[in-house]
Amino acid sequence: MAAPRLFRLRAEVASNPSGPIADRLPVARVLVDTGVFHLDQKYDYSVPEKLSDVVVPGVRVQLPFGNRETEGIVVERVGQPERAGALKAITKALSPHVVATPAVLDLIDKAAAFYCCNPWDLVRSAIPPRVGGVDKEIPVAHRASQLSRSRKPTVFQSFKPFLSSHEQLSPIVRDLKNTGSVLIVAPNERDVEKIIESLSSTFNNVLKLSSASTREERYRNFLLSMQLESSVVVGTRSAIFAPVRNLAAIIIYKESSPEHYELRAPGWNSSTIAKMRAENESLALFLTGFTPSVRVAHEIDARTIKYVIQRTQVNVQAFVPSDGTLLPGRIFSEIKKALKKGPVLFIAPRKGYGNALLCSHCRNVALCKCGGRLSVASKGLAPTCVHCGTAFPIWKCSYCDRDKQYLAGRGIDRAAEEISRAFPGFPVVISAGDVIKESVDSKPALVLSTPGAQPQVNGGYAAVVVLDAIRFFSHTDINGQERARELLFETASMVSVDGQVLLVLDDSHPIIAAIARWNIAPLLKRELADRDELMLPPSVSSAVLVTDQAVAPAIVSGLKKALQDSRLPNTTRIYGPTLLPKGQAKIVLHVSHGQSSDLAKILHELQRKRSISKKDLLILRIDPYSL
């Protein structure tokens, strides 16, 4: 009887030998997807001779790490490892194509240090997943070295009224295209499509880089952007990392948009990355929008960004809102005049029908037993709780026991009902929610839209009406005023040259004069002065930590102790913890701009220590959109 074989664990089985090691530069320094926050350094691997020709800087490889196979990006080939000892060998090259240039890898390192994250968190955003069929379809091209350029000043280009902002990019691109390729980063897919439509008739090699594309299209365009001598690459925020060949300039479209902030950790901002990249690669950087963000305004005030604006006059009228009415009496005649010339655009602050239900008698807010407020989704429907969805077909006020309802917080659907009754005989077009109209005819019509969903019209609207305009300025977060300014300027720009902007707003509000003169500078200076006085961003740099409520007091105590012991920069200010929903708490840190990198190093080390101790990482955001 044969002797039984010993049972061997799979982990004990040695892998097949990779063959002889490369004669020339036998060591590859690799950025590895370790899956562990604190294991973020580069690792040395030996390069098998059979892979030597394809394992070049910027190529994706598969390699062993711990007890598993994972992915990495080759950073460089060297003659000797940093540490003595046997090296593991690269298993295989996942693709023959270079997917990251040395400049992009350097950018990822600098951004990771700034945002206190593992570099691979940025690689996931920067490099799209490979598609084998596309790898075979596109020939491997030699990567040319980047041309040396002289650094140009960063510019904020303000858009003019009476012309689509997408069309205003063409002359900027035309001027920049003579020097090389141009990269345009837009906030969302809708803007990307409009920009491409505007540029494709004028320029060749316009490529789209967007997560909304198919995997094949995105990866194909990503590779093509590295091979075409001259191209215009248009994409959403992840495109800021694209290794575009012969790149000369970056344009950030609508730079103040919150959609330029990545939702996933570490919450990077495409404008910040663009600034780093422009400095690293000596690129021209154009920030665009109707009004600059407060952060950019701070740099304009410091003269580190050049502000370019074309002053013009816009016909603006303000109408003081009457209690409870959608449209003040005096505005009707102006709308009727405009409807004789063409379509009129109405901007409503809210979607839906009735966003809050009140008792008509005592004006108390109608609430569900769960604490949620009641809303009405459409005319004739019963009130429904916005939290638990409970319907109230027979509703009575819990305070006075009356049943007469008053709908507060008009949504766009209810506004459409009232406006269509006020101006009968005109077609009504609604652009909101899941049904967004890209354009409308230039015939007289009542066009209603929520912010960001405004349809385009050739020649502009005969009038633009902003309903309940004060609502746009009533948001409590730190950038509420910034969003309102951008929205009102963008909406006003859609009027025709001889059209009117009609604001349902108190006539003393400063936004009226700003739009009329197409000059936002006085409002920006006022807000910057307020923030300077209160020591709020952008006067200071900020960091926000979010953790469990049970842990937050200990974190704050540790930070205060570090400040007392001079381990934190002496300009650091610690606020919180502030309780958040779902058992979380928020800690806010402010520090002077000159010491922001010192604070970032300490916060990065805090995260590394928590990772080593197998504690949950803090949710950390550096210079976030909102505090």
How large is the average pLDDT for residues 164-174?
94
* Residue 506 in tokens: 């108190």
Do residues 402 and 396 lie in contact, with contact meaning Cβ atoms separated by under 8 Å?
yes
Q: What share of the chain is helix, strand, coil (3-state, %, to 5)?
A: 30, 25, 45
* Residue 31 in tokens: 């950025």
Nearest to 433 by CA among 513, 350, 524: 350
Q: Please, what is the Cα angle at 52 between 47 and 58, to 5 degrees? A: 85
How large is the average pLDDT for residues 432-443?
89
- Domains annotated for the chain, with CATH where assigned, are 19-137 (3.40.1440.60), 154-308 (3.40.50.300), 316-352+411-517 (3.40.50.300), 354-408 (no CATH), 541-622 (3.30.70)
Which is more confident, 589 or 150?
A: 589
| pLDDT at residue 601 is higher than 90 | yes
> What's the whole-number average pLDDT of the chain?
90
What is the structure's pLDDT at 413? 82
What is the structure's pLDDT at 11? 30
Look-up of token digits 């916005």: 386
What is the value of pTM for the model shown? Answer: 0.89
Q: How many residues does the chain have?
A: 627
10: which DSSP letter?
G
**Cα→Cα distances 281→106, 172, 246, 274, Å:** 10, 20, 11, 10
Look-up of token digits 């001027």: 175
What is the structure's pLDDT at 15? 47
pLDDT in tens, 368-424: 877 777 877 777 677 878 778 888 888 888 788 888 877 776 778 888 888 999 999
Nearest to 119 by CA among 157, 61, 76, 75: 75
Backbone torsions φ then ψ of 622, nearest 5 degrees: -100, 130
| pLDDT at residue 355 is higher than 60 | yes
Q: What band does 6 get if pLDDT is binned at 50, 70 and 90? A: very low
* Residue 577 in tokens: 């913890």
Cite the DSSP H helix spans in 423-499. 480-492
16: which DSSP letter?
P
pLDDT in tens, 213-248: 999 999 999 999 999 999 999 999 999 999 999 999
Other C-beta atoms within 10 Å of 383: how many?
22
* Residue 576 in tokens: 């919180």
Q: What band does 174 get if pLDDT is binned at 50, 70 and 90? A: very high
73-87, 281-295, 398-412, 574-588: which has the minimum mean pLDDT?
398-412
Under 8 Å CB-to-CB from 348, ≥6 apart: which residues? Answer: 410, 411, 412, 415, 432, 448, 449, 450, 467, 468
Other C-beta atoms within 10 Å of 337: how many?
13
391: which DSSP letter?
B
* Residue 452 in tokens: 């960001």
Nearest to 71 by CA among 49, 45, 53: 45
Determine the Cα–Cα distance for residues 309 and 321; give it in Å rounded to an integer: 32
Handedness of CA 148, 152, 156, 161 (dihedral sign): negative
Determine the Cα–Cα distance for residues 530 and 409; give it in Å rounded to an integer: 30
553: which DSSP letter?
H
What is the structure's pLDDT at 31? 96
Determine the Cα–Cα distance for residues 627 and 624; give it in Å rounded to an integer: 7
Residue 616's identity, in one-letter code, is D
271-275, 288-292, 379-383, 545-549: which has the minimum mean pLDDT?
379-383
Residue 105's identity, in one-letter code, is L
Cite the DSSP H helix spans in 58-149. 102-115, 119-126, 132-137
| pLDDT at residue 356 is higher than 80 | no
Nearest to 225 by CA among 214, 237, 235: 235
